[in-house]
Structure formats: C-alpha cells, structure tokens
Amino acid sequence: MKITLDTPIIELYRHNIAKLTSAMSRKLAVALATPAAKTNVDAVTVEDLLNYFPARYEDRSNFLSIDQIEPGMEAAVELYVRNSGGVQVGKSRARNKPPLFIFEITGGDLQRQHKPVTVKWFVSGKGASDIVNWYRDRFPRGTRLVAYGLWDEDNRGQLFLKIAKPEEIEILPPAGADTDAFGLLSNVAESEPGAIATGLPTPRSAIRNPQSDEDEGDLDPALATIHTGRVPIYRKLGPFQTKRLREIFHNVIADLDMGSIADEMPADLLERHKLIPRSQALAELHFPAEGTSVADYEMFRSPAQQRLIFDEFFWLSFAMQLLRGERQKEPKGTVIEIGDATKERLKNILPFTLTRAQKKVVGEIFADLKSDAPMNRLIQGDVGSGKTIVAFLAMFAAMENSYQTALMAPTEILAEQHFRNAQKIFDGTGYQIEMLIGSTKVAEKRRIYAALASGDVHMIIGTHAIIQDKVEFDRLGLAVIDEQHRFGVMQRAQIKAAGKNPDILVMTATPIPRSLAMTVYGDLDVSIIDELPARPHADQDRRLRRRQTRRRLSRHRTRDKARPPGVCRLSAYRGIRQDRPKSRDRDVRRPASASLPAIYCWTASRPNETCRERRDHA
C-alpha cells in the first residue's frame, strides 16, 4: 500500500521506509514537530516531511580521477581503500580532556597507476577509541568509495581531503566479484566461501556505530546511488544526519502515491506561467532531475523551486485580498473631518513647503481619514524624503477632531528623535505631547497612563511600551507605526485594538518593488514618496563654508609670523619630497604655500643652528 501526504510520520515504519523502526519513526516525528509548527506528534505527516527542504546541493555526478585533481579543487573522486587507521594525537592533553584521534584513509585507483591520496578527519570523545575501531572495520582494504570535498596538498606533495563529517563518504557497491582490487580474493581459503561475498569483506553488517542509535546494516546498492549524483544536503534533524535523511526522503518519494497529491492551481494558470505539477516539484526539489544544473537550484531558478515559490506568493496574495475585503466591511470608529480651518492651521505649523510627492501622499491620507472605511496605508520613501512630517500632518488633523494619536517607533533613540521634532512643530498649538519608552521612570509612567485614560494627552510617542496592557486610550483615532518591517502583524493588531478600530498609518524606508509591496502588504494601501525635498539654505551654507575657510587661513598666517625660532613649518596638504641621505633633519617636506595649514616640528640637530641654516639643511 502506497503512502500519501496525510500518512503520519509515526507510521512510516509500517511501510518499510529506509529500515525505520517504530522508535526512530517517532523520533523523526518529534524532530519535525517544531519546523512544522505542530505540538501534536501524531499530527505530523509526510507533507510536513517533504516541506523540510535541503539547505543546499552538491554536484557529485562527475567523478574525477586522481591525476585530474589539483589543490583547491572541490571534486568527487572514486577511490579504493589501501589501508585505514587512527592515530592518537595530543597525548599530553590534560587528564580531564577526552582523547583525540586522526583517522586516515589512504586510497588509490584500481590500477595503481597514480600516487595515493589521503582522506582524514578528527575523532574525539570518551568513546573515541571504539569509534576509531568502528571506522577501521567500516573501511577495510579494497572498499570502493566516493570522497567529495575541497582537496589540498601537504608538504610532501600528497593530496589529502580533510572532512568534518565522515558519514558523507559514500561506500559504493563493489565493481564485481571478478575484480580483485588489491589481491584480496587470492587470500581467501576455499573453506570460507562466505567470507567475501562480492570481492570485499563485510564486517560492518554485524557492527553497531557507537555514535548512532541505528545499525548500519549491509550495503544497499539501490541507496548508494542517491549519494553520488546531484546530492541534496540537509540540516541535521534531531538524531538524523544528512545522509540518513537522504535515504528516508528517497524511500518516501519512491513509495508516494503521486496521484493523491491534489494540484489546486488552475491548469490554464500553470500553462500560462509554464509551471510543472506540484507532485513533480516536490520530488525534484529533493532529488534534482537529470539535465538540471545545481547552480539553478542554488539561485532558486529551477522549475521545482519556481513552482513552490509561485504557490506561496499566490496564496499569500489571495489571503491578503480576503483580509482587505473583510477590512472594508468593518465599521469605522472614527471619522475625521478636514475643513478649511484645519487646512489653514496645517499651513501655519509647516516649517517648509511640501514637495509634490508629499502633497500627493497627504491628499491620499486625508481621503482615507474622511472615508467611512478604516485607513490602513503604507508610506514608503527613502530616508530624508519627509515621511515623518506627512505623518505629523495626519496626526494634527486627527487631534483637530478631538482624537488621540499614537506614534510607535522600534527603538528608544528613534522615539526620542520623533518626540523632539513633534515638540518643535506643535509648539504653540496647545496639544499635550508625551513620550513613553521602556526607560521611563515608574512614577512618570503612572502619570502618563492616567493622562491617556482621561484624554489629557493628545499625542503619545514611544516604543513597544505603548501597546502594553496597562495603556488605555480615551479616544484613539490614529496610530502611526514607524519602520513597519521591525514590527509583526501581532503588534499592529495590538495597537489597533487599543482604540475603536482607529486609522492605521505605517511607514518604511525599505525600498520595496510595487508588485512585491502589493503582495506582502496586500492588506495595506501603498503610497510612495519618490521625491527628496531640496536642502534649505544651500547657498547660505556654501557662503558660510567659504567664510570659515578664509578665517582659518588667516589664523594660520598669523601663527606663522609668531612661531618661535628653531621651528620649521611643514605643509599638511601637499609639498615636495626629494631624495636625500637618510637623516632625521633632512627628510622633511617643504611648504607648498604659505597660506595652507601646516604642521610645526623641531628639525634642528644642533642647538646653535640658526633657522636659516636649518632650512638649508632641509
């Protein structure tokens, strides 16, 4: 019976998946529960397993011979073991430290035409000696294997491969019983026909790996091939290493009923965007198909990845549009009127003239404030484009209608900056502005809590402290969130719940393409400030810099005239350096101009020299 996407992980052992036992199936389900965001282990299914994607891929499909390897090359090489063993190092280590071994495999080609190479790794721990013995039995003389990694060359000119995980060395089935790799068959007595079944000793079938809970078992030729092509590399999942996960995924996909995988995308949509079926995408994402490039998978350009990426954005956009429709149906608790008197007061508090883009965004915000549907708008603009002043104008319009406003920033420094700017802009308007951050003193917090609840505070600026349970608003009409990407959906919902469905205005300086913004922020209306305001007083700044420069040069000229004897003036900007005999008073720089700032240093080698003599020496 084939498995489906709904098959529980704890039942995989019943389907003989990669020799999993009941205990190991449960361990796999427990390890998958966290990535799958599930608390019930019994609810973890095969679909959750297939959604555990590889971290990267390695191309081990093309084996290189030993003579083709060069230092610094990352390649897969087919080797035959000549000898293997471990050497203990660091015997002078402290008694409380576990022993340390270096296990080495010396291998060569079948015909012994080239110089052998070495594959080595460290083995440490209390049971290091037992692990070394296990590795020696696992890699006996004549074993055929594939070693992949970054090759290097030692001082003797011998190539070696230093690896961190010896489990990534793939043991291949023997080339054939008639292939006597290193004279093994000639040493086998006729009375022991089962000693070498296929031209190789098989001691590992009866040995347990000291580092694993599972028996290694005999070599499986069907599974050996999945470790030597375009190989997926997984992050460790519970007790399962990447090689073991690769075997599990291979068996699951082989026994999976592809017809049971429903494709919810319309056929014409798949054809229009040239997307492959979902079942094929799930299989090829774990084991790339022939003809595909590993580079495409690394850049997320493979057909399998493109299909799943399209699915995620499609359903995210679909969910956002549903939320948008539901939001439009919600009754608005505040309606802000913007009359001529309010517009006149807005002009009076503006410290400068708005740009064309700012005026456009302000008009869109005012239209939302006056509408019956609650506002949920995103303002996007570069740093310095004037997003804050636009938000302040919206908050002023709300306060003119007797509503409270709140501005939440991600950091205390940014909140303090907004607070200072608000005090300058709204000075003289009669509105009470307070700041509430985490470092605010307890007594001050209590006073602000009471003022917010009574309506005495018209504008509150702060951090996450604004959305605490202790904070209660009397009549919150508009909430502004700065740096939208620093807050989650829950924080936005919390500040929205602080009032009776108030208007929400969020700001971000992160450049987001409009198509992506419509997808990720599908429940928000997007306004873009694409114009930077002109720098005020630019001409005055240039004239001021020139005047300051002239004053500095005048001070330097006065200082030159008043310098004491025996001090030579060296230009700080440019000068002429000539080749002279090395001496502490000869290798100096002559001033290029008397009007430039200078560095003064003593250059006299004899106290009775005159200043002119010293300059002549220089």
pLDDT in tens, 477-491: 999 988 765 565 566
* Between residues 395 and 555, the one the model is more confident about: 395
* Total H helices, total E strands in the chain: 18, 20
Q: What pLDDT, on a 0 to 100 scale, did the predictor assign at position 456?
A: 93
Rg for the chain, CA atoms, rounded? 37
Would you state the pLDDT for residue 223? 54
CATH 2.40.50.140 domain residues, the chain: 62-228
- The yes-or-no verdict on residue 617 having pLDDT over 50 is no
Tell me the pLDDT tens digit for each residue of 20-47.
Answer: 999 999 999 999 998 877 888 889 999 9
In whole angstroms, how far apart are CA 124 and each of 35, 81, 83, 99, 193?
31, 23, 21, 6, 38
Confidence of residue 615 (pLDDT cuts 50, 70, 90): very low
Q: Is the pLDDT of residue 322 over 90?
A: no
Beta pairing class for 404-408 and 476-481:
parallel
- Name the least confident of 93-97, 353-357, 502-506: 93-97
Between 55 and 331, name the one with better pLDDT. 55
Given pLDDT bands bounded at 50, 70 and 90, which one contains residue 206? very low
Q: How many Å apart are CA 434 and CA 462, to the nearest integer?
A: 8
**pLDDT class of 203 with cuts at 50, 70, 90:** very low
* CATH 2.40.50.140 is right for the domain spanning 62-228: yes
Q: What percent of the chain has pLDDT over 70?
A: 75
Close Cβ partners of 486 (under 8 Å, ≥ 6 residues apart): 410
Q: Which residue has the higher pLDDT, 253 or 572?
A: 253
Q: Which two tokens stand for residue 59?
A: 């191309």
Query: For the ranges 113-127, 176-190, 212-226, which has the lowest average pLDDT?
Result: 176-190
Q: Tell me the average pLDDT across 277-286.
A: 93
Of 519, 501, 530, 408, the closest CA to residue 459 belongs to 408
Query: What's the confidence (pLDDT) of residue 28?
Result: 94
Q: Is the pLDDT of residue 545 over 70?
A: yes
Instruction: Indicate if the pLDDT at residue 597 is higher than 80.
Output: no
Q: What is the pLDDT of residue 207?
A: 42
pLDDT top residue among 314 and 580:
314
pLDDT of residue 443: 93
Averaged pLDDT, 238-256: 91
134 touches 210 (CB < 8 A): yes
Residue 72 has what pLDDT? 86
Residue of 236 and 522 predicted with greater confidence = 236
pLDDT of residue 512: 64
347-398 pLDDT, tens digit per residue, is: 888 888 888 999 999 999 999 898 888 888 888 888 888 899 999 999 999 9
Q: Which residues of the chain form CATH 3.40.50.300?
A: 340-529
Q: Which two tokens stand for residue 15?
A: 């389907």
- What is the longest distance spanned by two Cα atoms in the chain? 110
Is beta strand 100-108 parallel, antiparallel or unpaired with respect to 117-124? antiparallel
Among the residue ranges 176-185, 243-252, 363-372, 558-567, the one predicted with the least confidence is: 176-185
CA–CA dist 257, 264 (Å, integer): 17
Neighbours of 143 (CB within 10 A): 23
Give percent above pLDDT 90 in the chain. Answer: 26
Q: What is the pLDDT of residue 589?
A: 44
Asked if the model's pLDDT at residue 187 lies above 50, the reply is no
Residue-level pLDDT at 125: 80
pTM of the model: 0.59
Q: Which tens digits make up the pLDDT trace of 99-152?
A: 888 899 998 887 777 788 889 988 888 788 888 898 888 899 988 888 888 889
Predicted local confidence at residue 537, as pLDDT: 55
User: How many C-beta atoms surround the C-beta of residue 39 within 10 A?
Assistant: 8
Give me the helix-helix angle, 387-400 and 356-370, nearest 10°: 30
552-568 burial by CB neighbour count: b if 16+ within 10 A, else e? eeeebeeeeeeeeeeeb
Angle between helix 387-400 and helix 340-349 axes, rounded to 10 deg: 140
CB-based contact 263:271 (threshold 8 Å):
no
Report how far residue 312's alpha carbon sits from residue 410's, in angstroms, rounded to the nearest whole number. Answer: 28
Q: Compute the mean pLDDT over every residue in the chain, rounded to the nearest whole number.
A: 78
More confident residue, 235 or 199: 235
Q: pLDDT confidence of 209, banded at 50, 70, 90?
A: low
CATH level 3 topology of 340-529: Rossmann fold (3.40.50)
Cβ burial 404-438 (10 Å sphere, 16+ → b, else e) = bbbbbbbebebbbebbeebeebbeeeebebbbbbe
pLDDT band for 533, please (50, 70, 90 cuts): confident
Lowest model confidence (mean pLDDT) among 303-312, 313-322, 570-579:
570-579
Flag whether pLDDT at 581 surpasses 80: no
pLDDT at 52: 93
